[in-house]
Structure 1
Amino acid sequence: MTAEVRRDSFKTFWDKYSDKPDTNSMMLNQTAQDLEASDRADILSSLPHLTNKDVVDIGAGIGRFTTVLAETARWVLSTDFIESFIEKNQERNAHMGNISYQIGDAVHLQMDEKSVDLVFTNWLMMYLSDREVIEFLLNAMRWLRADGYIHLRESCSEPSTGRLKTATMHSAVDANPTHYRFSSLYIKLLRAIRYGDSDGKMWKFDVQWSCSVPTYIRRCNNWRQVHWLTKKVPAVGDEETSVDDLLNLFSQIWPAEQKTWDEKLDNEKYSWTDKIFSNAIDDEVVLLEPVSGIDETSVRQRMTTCGFKNITIVDVTQESLNAEVSFIKDHNLDVELSGCNYLLIKASL
């Protein structure tokens, strides 16, 4: 009963915008037209090639992304739980012959096992409960073919409009059921999931990258618009993870760990990673990525597949270790070293 009430609250929240099936409503931003094209380009340019691929666009709204996905994909299923949004979507894409439409909630979506190559979402997890997020990702794993991808994009810690209260379309008096989770929770969950399919094979998500959306950094000084691309790969020898175990981590343990770190760092003027790179993002993506082993060739291949260009990779493991040791010593922290190798990756979108 509680889950049904929660779903109703999300439906009620979006029903308020059902009479305005436009870009502002999709982005809950009064000035969305200033951002929309650039934001959409940021997201789409980072996706893998979709020629002869099958895609499901979940929470598609009026079809901001559906149109472009369908231009290269073999077939796209576009879904949303607001009827007027799907009607507008169909109207906008009436000239496209490879799009199917479905009105319905993402948590109730039914698809065949191993039926798509990309599960695409943009601002969806934040409208799901913690348990629903986990169950959705397990469903996505089931829907994906081997080496298929899932794309997530979420508002982390605060709305997309950040502290710009004049731009937001959120009501100042009505309840807002949206979950603005820590970005760290999503990446930990994606890395933790193990799924056993009907053939007895075990699968996991390989996180290809995680980064802030450049448009929101440049235009809004908001680094908390974060998106991820992950790939379905074999997890030979691993054990399947239970929903309850993942829920305990996602709802309790990981948030507590993040809050503990935030409390330690809130009043700090720098983090140890600041000593490794200080590049401002413009047309460039800068990543400091922890890896289990140094394999520049596979990293370069992975990023090229995802559409990145002008890639440079530098092994900064020793510099990272020195900076981490110095930071822990300076702040009298009782913590273990990360124990990772680190690559500094620069690439153009």
Structure 2
Amino acid sequence: MLRNDDIYGYISTPYDLLVSKEDFMGNIPATLAEIVDFSNKDVTDLGAGTGRLTTMVATQTKSIIAVDFAADMLRVTASKLDRMGVANWKTCVADLRQIPLHDQSMDIIMAGWSICYVGSSNHQAWEQNLSLVMTEISRILRPGGTVIILETLGTGHAEPSGPDFLRNYYEALEQHYGFQHKAIRTDYEFDSAEQAERLCRDFFGDELGDKIKEKQLTIVPECTGVWWKGV
């Protein structure tokens, strides 16, 4: 299984192919639309990666800025946005704990599967890291704005089951920072069991890879947590 610090080095074709298979039922865009209207809004996607969320909402927004510490990932995002023919976007290479955007410049901030890399209890300073990210989000967000965070609640699981090393982070979002929360299914649909095994084994580890191989799965269940709040 890839270590956390290796994931963004796992660029770009295998990673991008994996995330393109996620949420074949479309629950993520439906949930985002339930939380907030993206129309004519200035939006930032923190930890944008290869642009999964950025491209999902770009055509709806007034403007969107994709932020990530990995320039290679953002080049993939930029290429996708170019192919979409939209012109309302920028990319920004930055650490989520120190974001070079102006105060009160955004209506909506999204962070998908990204804050976990600094908020994991595997880091001794996870609480300080999380505080720094939240301070930056509060600084950038306009009054009346909305922040939405998406994180894993278990790949290969049909019921929410987040990893132990993220439990404190998730609890802090709700208990300390005042986020609302819901869990949604974001199952993967692969072209074949071989593709499912190969991609999931590389990214999620041998236990899931072995399960997929044994059962010849092309649909891999997944649960995702969505946290949001307005300011």
8 Å Cα contact 1:211-1:226 kept in structure 2: yes
8 Å Cα contact 2:42-2:108 kept in structure 1: yes
Match of 1:92 in 2: 80
Map 1:72-83 onto structure 2 (within 5 A). 72-83=60-71
What are the ranges of 5 or more consecutive residues in structure 2 without an aligned counterpart?
119-125, 159-163, 188-218
- Of all paired residues, the percent bearing the same amino acid is 17
Residue 147 (structure 2) pairs with residue 150 (structure 1) = yes
1:36 deviates by 4.7
Match of 1:65 in 2: 53
1:20 deviates by 2.9
What are the ranges of 5 or more consecutive residues in structure 1 without an aligned counterpart?
1-8, 164-177, 192-206, 233-349
Specify the SS of the correspondent of 1:190: coil
CA distance in 1, matches of 2:10, 2:31: 24
Shift in alpha-carbon separation, 1:137–1:211, aligned structure 2, 3 A: same
Map 1:1-349 onto structure 2 (within 5 A). 10=4, 12-20=5-13, 22-25=15-18, 27=19, 33=21, 35-36=23-24, 38-94=26-82, 95-128=85-118, 129-156=126-153, 159-162=154-157, 179-182=165-168, 183-191=170-178, 207=179, 209-216=180-187, 223=223, 225-232=224-231
8 Å Cα contact 2:22-2:186 kept in structure 1: no
1:117 deviates by 0.6
8 Å Cα contact 1:58-1:79 kept in structure 2: yes
Partner letter of residue 181 of structure 1? R
Q: TM-score, normalised by structure 1?
A: 0.47
8 Å Cα contact 2:47-2:115 kept in structure 1: no
Q: TM-score, normalised by structure 2?
A: 0.69
1:211 deviates by 0.4
CA distance in 2, matches of 1:21, 1:105: 24
1:19 deviates by 4.2
Shift in alpha-carbon separation, 1:87–1:81, aligned structure 2, 3 A: same
- Considering only CA atoms, is the larger Rg found in Structure 1 or Structure 2? 1
TM-superposition CA deviations, 1:41-69 (whole Å, max 9, x none)? 34433331122211101111111121232
CA distance in 2, matches of 1:221, 1:113: 39
Higher relative contact order (CA 8 A, sep 6+): 2
1:103 deviates by 1.9
Partner letter of residue 128 of structure 2? R
Specify the SS of the correspondent of 1:93: helix
Partner letter of residue 154 of structure 1? E
